[in-house]
Chains A and B, each alone.
Chain A
């Protein structure tokens, strides 16, 4: 183990990039890194969300806890979140979360004056900081609330998770045994193609050849392989997962841009690794990392 370097240089290829959606390929790395990235995106990229709600008057049909819970789940633009402080370790305000470094204050005032039901949406929230506003995206009664939002991470509560969906898949590697395929009739080919619930294969109208239209649509469901076996043609197709390339799909809640989410995740991952490296041979490492620390020092 000594001396041998396993360093690899992962590459990223971006396929699609929108504000709240991002699809990219991650090559030449292994699953531990890909999964670490995914986990960090879900749980550890900080955002801001409403955490402390002070209710002055609430005469609506919805009770206080209910409103507080729902306010908490509103995604807020959190571009500034990386640089903000966690209110628990903010030294400007002794951690009570009342200062500009760790909190933003919102006000919600809504009053229903007629018989109709009043829709109170995130548009009714007034922020004390223009950089933190509800993401653009509904009761009768009146309520006045002061809510305070704080920085947090998805690990503590799902409301701080900036990710709506983060998932990855192995890139499939599909090999059709063309010789064997040629022995099939057109109906058989069609039957085989249709056996896949997702549209991976198709029959080329001109050449009547089976072609792979979308390898990534393949859901690793083995349906085509089973079908081939049922047709008495085992080995008609071989599908492997490429162990070192991943296709990531990231959807953001809108709190931060999907691309930023990935970048932030990488930053945080780096910080975490730095923390491990820095405490490599300090005594505290044992306390901080427990068994992991001992393990890293070759224990």
Chain B
């Protein structure tokens, strides 16, 4: 992405190639600084999945230490002097130990040999074995294996260059950010959640206004709801069986005076009026003092499931109010005042919302959301597992100590075992089921196998955000596009159907924050003039001239000059004194300043502007280009800063520098960064109808092409590759940034937009046979088959033996090598044996030496290839490895090269999919007088209703591109900044090369040779071949397998099933009166069965073949038995009904 191209941009097309430089030199100095170069620099330091990596890095560097420190002491209950203390924790290099030997792991080895890419967790411990012995310190104690995220700081790939990555068998373009669990790549999806510890005002189902807080601290999680119901205000808390009057709660927390409560809420008479019914209610319950209130509340407390000592001591209600009720507000030395103030603020916000509906919070607002990433999820899991391990450790130690006599010396450290953590982490990551008992968390489907269908699919998978609600809910609010999504979440990339709008994707420049230390920020706030809450009276809280200061939802105090305070905080942040991701947000409506340093907020970088003048100047960009400066320098010097969604509300962001006014505070880096990775591939998306871009986002993930540089060394279950992938002639900046130009998934096809042959209706495309001969759309499908050489409990094991070259099986063993495995390069046909394996007859019982077994003791357990008939697949590779239990595993990769055929699915990059309708000889294809003949023909009816103008511009741009040998650009919204070519410039280029400005050509019919009636819009368009191919789908059956129980044909292609005449088809036939056809389809061709029915009792009898008579077993004779045909399923129903004491009787009449 040379700068030269930036500058010459559209006008240069008019110029001759040789005087571009002259043009460049003569060009007037651009007033607006081109900030595009920041983007590649940004992605260089961050990568595309930095949010995952940062989160994981934070976990392994910081969070894991905190967890261990919080649970660092294990003391025996039996002997309190026996203890173990964790001193330090760290994660080693990725390795595994096999029979005592430590083997270093590389990601690719793990993929190939079904291992988990994990590193050992080590701790330093200090322990005492009892009073008599002094405490012992021990270092490097192994407590478990931690799966390592690829490219994180613990990974061997961290900070490796391209050559080193290649040596490790890794693709340099692979983003990392996933785990390898038992050989499969797993991503932990980004989880969307409502923000924790924040007051949210909304309405419940009945329309009552409520204030809720999801409290989350290290110890507890709770949800507090304060609700206005029938003019009275109540508290809802799980620990209380029923709703509780809020005034009683206030009194229980020591606010005995109603006046104080009113003062805290605010002296506005309207608030007092709203509060009055609650106060009266409280009085009517005779609750006046704290003692009375606590007693009142004690009655409402739910019976605890397990008995807790602390609760009993001071009354249950007190404990709940202290530890569960708005748990995020800490209570120190039973000082409930901060909590009271917090509740007062909640009440005040609620009343504001009652008086003025605008003050309600929007749950769908991105600023009220947090994204939970792998690090956070893993830390939850690890904490739980670590605690479980410690409890078990304590239990075993206590058990050992309780034993009266011990044979050996007691050693605490010997009981530290890492299995539970290792298995817990591995199991959770491979199933995706997060079960954390402490927080009652049972979430399913948190991890997914990385989509390796296409390179873009992989990237798209990493940025996918899974929703907080179940998909079944029919609500439109959360699905709608939020204005606050701008720049943070891609507006295009969302699936169609039930998950539409709920599953989202990150935009190109989005960053997700990690937790930051609160302590320094708190003290800084006080230094900057925040008045401490403790020193304020209730009355002073909401004075006219002051704003409340909140840090991560916690009220710090108030400030009299909020704007000045906010500016000071921001200045410090830009100077690097406060973390770059700390956000300062002045909410004038709520008269609050929100400071946030918590993790999971989405934010993005913006250029800072002073009074509308960008801080980035030409010389900064030049330094960047020269490599003297990097993205971090920009950040450090306060030229760029990260804004989160809330702080964006305080900023006025100009799209371009030229549009900035004196109020402008920030300038966008590049407008196309509002799109994500998948939408970034679309050229001219801003000219398309919006749903088309969404469709393309879904289809780009199904396109075949290159997966990774190491694609031929991978052993995936299924890979689709294109034989001749190309990079698009019409590129975008995003394509270059993500590397799609190096791992493309499509080919540039010359498309003629015209009607041809009638096989092009309904979006079908007509293809040129010669193009297909030459390799257009040719693809490779690779499938994996595997076999295990099993070991058995009696020490016998399977064996793989030399194939028989003569005899009955010789023909099926043709492709086997002498080692009994299929040889690479051999053509494999259905029913061919690919592994000549034998299993021992006896696998259980007494130990048998394998040497004593003879050929007779083995039975064949061959595996045969079950592919479709007529497909010539080839054995591509065979790999051998030993798995966890030291069994020999063999993986076979079967390769099949396919050329496009009628019915294969193709798509352009504009959500215009279509199947191949017919394939036509080149001589029948239209041609131009230059001899150009299209590769495929698309019906023009695809355009009017779809309104994909972007596709037309792509065609024009690509045509100009091939004419002058240059890649043209079509980045989203790129025309003003020169990242997209204008149609006028493209047309000029076309005219210069002798084409019509409109992109239309004069064509001759290939069949008759006469000119076509109209000019044909023709040029190259990047076409993707999608994974849906007829060969995998076509299915027909005459007769075939049947289901055992009903004797009806099986269902589905994989079981060679029948095609069902369903209810609706049946209805049609009934309406038509085709009774014989119904009879034939539904019975003769399905499950006909002959039964003997007794005319007298109406029950089924049987036919005695010996006596050649039919007998009714109920009547014990054969006098009244008739034979008739009915579906077997019907007979089955009768018998099943009989088995449950219902007698179905058939009444027969003469027909």
Contact across chains for B897 and A39 when beta carbons are under 8 A apart:
no
Is A151 part of the binding interface, using a Cβ–Cβ cutoff of 8 Å? no
Give chain B residues whose Cβ lies under 8 Å from the Cβ of A63.
780, 874, 876, 895, 897
Is B1054 part of the binding interface, using a Cβ–Cβ cutoff of 8 Å? no
Give chain B residues whose Cβ lies under 8 Å from the Cβ of A108.
none
The CA-CA distance from A154 to B874 in the complex, in Å, is: 28
Instruction: State the majority secondary structure of interface residues on A.
Output: mixed
Give chain B residues whose Cβ lies under 8 Å from the Cβ of A34.
1009
Closest to B768 in A: A158
The A-contacting residues of B in range 988-1004, CB under 8 angstroms, are 990-991, 994-997, 1000-1002, 1004
Closest approach, in angstroms, between the C-beta of A282 and any C-beta of chain B? Answer: 28
Question: A38-B923, A55-B825, A167-B929 are contacts. A65–B1008 as well, Cβ < 8 Å?
Answer: no
The B-contacting residues of A in range 35-59, CB under 8 angstroms, are 35-36, 38-39, 42-43, 55, 58
Contact across chains for B921 and A197 when beta carbons are under 8 A apart:
no
Q: Which residue of A43, A64, A169, A170 is within 8 Å of B923 (Cβ)?
A: A43
The CA-CA distance from A63 to B894 in the complex, in Å, is: 12
Is A219 part of the binding interface, using a Cβ–Cβ cutoff of 8 Å? yes
Is B770 part of the binding interface, using a Cβ–Cβ cutoff of 8 Å? yes
Give chain A residues whose Cβ lies under 8 Å from the Cβ of B997.
197
Closest to B925 in A: A42
Is B906 part of the binding interface, using a Cβ–Cβ cutoff of 8 Å? no
How would residues 212 to 255 of chain A score, 1 for a CB under 8 Å from any chain B CB and 0 otherwise? 00000101110100000000000000000100000001010000
Closest to B993 in A: A197
Contact across chains for B996 and A223 when beta carbons are under 8 A apart:
yes
The CA-CA distance from A161 to B874 in the complex, in Å, is: 29
Is A150 part of the binding interface, using a Cβ–Cβ cutoff of 8 Å? no
Contact across chains for B921 and A43 when beta carbons are under 8 A apart:
yes
Which of B780, B876, B1002 is the most central at the interface, judged by chain A CB atoms within 10 Å of its CB?
Answer: B1002
Closest to A223 in B: B996
Is A66 part of the binding interface, using a Cβ–Cβ cutoff of 8 Å? yes
Q: Which residue of A42, A155, A169 is within 8 Å of B929 (Cβ)?
A: A169
Contact across chains for A31 and B1010 when beta carbons are under 8 A apart:
yes
Question: A154-B770, A167-B930 are contacts. A42–B922 as well, Cβ < 8 Å?
Answer: yes
Give chain A residues whose Cβ lies under 8 Å from the Cβ of B1009.
31-32, 34-36, 38, 168
How would residues 188 to 214 of chain A score, 1 for a CB under 8 Å from any chain B CB and 0 otherwise? 000000000110000000000000000
The CA-CA distance from A223 to B994 in the complex, in Å, is: 12
Closest approach, in angstroms, between the C-beta of B705 and any C-beta of chain A? Answer: 16
The CA-CA distance from A168 to B1002 in the complex, in Å, is: 12
The CA-CA distance from A66 to B775 in the complex, in Å, is: 10
Give chain A residues whose Cβ lies under 8 Å from the Cβ of B1006.
35, 39
Closest to A42 in B: B923
How would residues 1001 to 1034 of chain B score, 1 for a CB under 8 Å from any chain A CB and 0 otherwise? 1101011111100010000000000000000000
Give chain A residues whose Cβ lies under 8 Å from the Cβ of B774.
73, 158
Give chain B residues whose Cβ lies under 8 Å from the Cβ of A167.
927-931, 1004
Closest approach, in angstroms, between the C-beta of A115 and any C-beta of chain B? Answer: 13
Is B891 part of the binding interface, using a Cβ–Cβ cutoff of 8 Å? no
Closest to A161 in B: B770
Q: Which residue of B770, B773, B991, B1008 is within 8 Å of A197 (Cβ)?
A: B991
Is B723 part of the binding interface, using a Cβ–Cβ cutoff of 8 Å? yes
Q: Which residue of B769, B929, B1008 is within 8 Å of A219 (Cβ)?
A: B929
Closest approach, in angstroms, between the C-beta of B393 and any C-beta of chain A? Answer: 53
Is A297 part of the binding interface, using a Cβ–Cβ cutoff of 8 Å? no
Closest approach, in angstroms, between the C-beta of B226 and any C-beta of chain A? Answer: 68
Q: Which residue of A35, A42, A55, A197 is within 8 Å of B994 (Cβ)?
A: A197
Is A257 part of the binding interface, using a Cβ–Cβ cutoff of 8 Å? no
Which of A34, A69, A168 is the most central at the interface, judged by chain B CB atoms within 10 Å of its CB?
Answer: A69
Closest approach, in angstroms, between the C-beta of A58 and any C-beta of chain B? Answer: 7
Give chain A residues whose Cβ lies under 8 Å from the Cβ of B528.
none
Is A131 part of the binding interface, using a Cβ–Cβ cutoff of 8 Å? no
Give chain A residues whose Cβ lies under 8 Å from the Cβ of B897.
63, 65-66
Closest to B990 in A: A197
Contact across chains for B996 and A197 when beta carbons are under 8 A apart:
yes
How would residues 57 to 81 of chain A score, 1 for a CB under 8 Å from any chain B CB and 0 otherwise? 0100101111001000100000000
The CA-CA distance from A64 to B1002 in the complex, in Å, is: 41
The CA-CA distance from A197 to B780 in the complex, in Å, is: 43
Closest to B994 in A: A198
Contact across chains for B770 and A39 when beta carbons are under 8 A apart:
no
The CA-CA distance from A249 to B1011 in the complex, in Å, is: 16
Is B712 part of the binding interface, using a Cβ–Cβ cutoff of 8 Å? yes
Which of B931, B991, B997, B1015 is the most central at the interface, judged by chain A CB atoms within 10 Å of its CB?
Answer: B931
Closest to B778 in A: A69
The CA-CA distance from A154 to B775 in the complex, in Å, is: 15
Contact across chains for B874 and A64 when beta carbons are under 8 A apart:
yes
Closest to A39 in B: B923
Contact across chains for B874 and A65 when beta carbons are under 8 A apart:
yes
Closest approach, in angstroms, between the C-beta of B563 and any C-beta of chain A? Answer: 61
The CA-CA distance from A154 to B769 in the complex, in Å, is: 10
Closest to B1002 in A: A220
- In the assembled complex, 24 residue pairs joining A and B whose CB atoms fall closer than 8 Å, in A order, are A31-B1008, A32-B1009, A34-B1009, A35-B1009, A61-B712, A63-B780, A63-B897, A65-B895, A69-B723, A154-B923, A155-B921, A157-B773, A158-B774, A158-B922, A167-B927, A167-B929, A169-B1004, A197-B996, A197-B997, A198-B994, A219-B929, A219-B994, A221-B996, A249-B931
- Beyond the given A32-B1008, A158-B771, A168-B1004, please list 15 additional residue pairs across the A-B interface where CB-CB is below 8 A: A38-B1009, A43-B921, A43-B922, A55-B825, A65-B895, A69-B723, A154-B770, A159-B773, A167-B927, A169-B1004, A197-B996, A219-B929, A219-B996, A221-B996, A221-B1002
List residues of chain A with CB under 8 Å of any chain B CB. 31-32, 34-36, 38-39, 42-43, 55, 58, 61, 63-66, 69, 73, 154-155, 157-159, 161, 165-170, 197-198, 217, 219-221, 223, 241, 249, 251
Q: Top 10 A-B pairs ranked by shortest CB distance?
A: A35-B1009, A165-B931, A158-B773, A158-B770, A169-B929, A167-B931, A39-B923, A65-B897, A220-B1002, A31-B1009
